[in-house]
Amino acid sequence: MALKGRDLIGIAETSSGKTLAYLLPALVHVNAQPRLAAGDGPIVLVIAPTRELAVQIQEEAPKFGLRSNIRSTCIYGGVPKGSQIRDLKRGVQIVIATPGRLIDMLEACHTNLRRVTYLVLDEADRMLDMGFEPQI
């Protein structure tokens, strides 16, 4: 369904492969897009409610994207922004972010969402429970 460009809601138990279920179609989608140009933002945006989940997703992305030369970065609060800004400025096809830090990066013009054509809200119900509705 995701490869056909359809909206999709996935519900499954922990450790059932949900991350891979949206990352693999995302990689196929990135490969079908024109290359990033200077100043382009990501093609895929994954929003997660916590930095722990964002980091966990980031650990999986390079395992599958490396052979396709697809770069990803993880944007989350509680750490210095320098390396995250460098990754965004170099250009990455996939950004995995928490809502607050993503908004910080957008407001500071370190990235943009003009090229995003594949959006994942991982644990969207949890983000709403945590009060992220205005940010989302």
pLDDT at 20: 87
Q: Is 81 a residue whose pLDDT tops 80?
A: yes
Print the domain residue range for 45: 2-6+16-129
CA proximity to 63, closest of 18, 95, 27, 35: 27
CA proximity to 42, closest of 82, 124, 102, 123: 102
Q: Is 2 a residue whose pLDDT tops 70?
A: no
For residue 35, being part of any structural domain is answered with: yes
Percent above pLDDT 90 for the chain: 64
For residue 119, being part of any structural domain is answered with: yes
pTM of the model as a whole: 0.90
Between 26 and 18, the more confident residue is 26
For residue 135, being part of any structural domain is answered with: no
Q: Is 105 a residue whose pLDDT tops 90?
A: yes
The CATH number covering residue 49 comes to 3.40.50.300
pLDDT at 31: 93
- Counting the structural domains of the chain, the total is 1
Average pLDDT of the chain to the nearest whole number: 90
CA 11 to the chain's CA centroid:
19
Q: Is 131 a residue whose pLDDT tops 80?
A: yes
Report the sign of the C-alpha dihedral through residues 4, 106, 104, 72, in that order: positive
Q: Average the pLDDT over 42-59 and give the result.
A: 95
Whether the CB-CB separation of 119 and 45 falls below 8 Å is answered with: yes
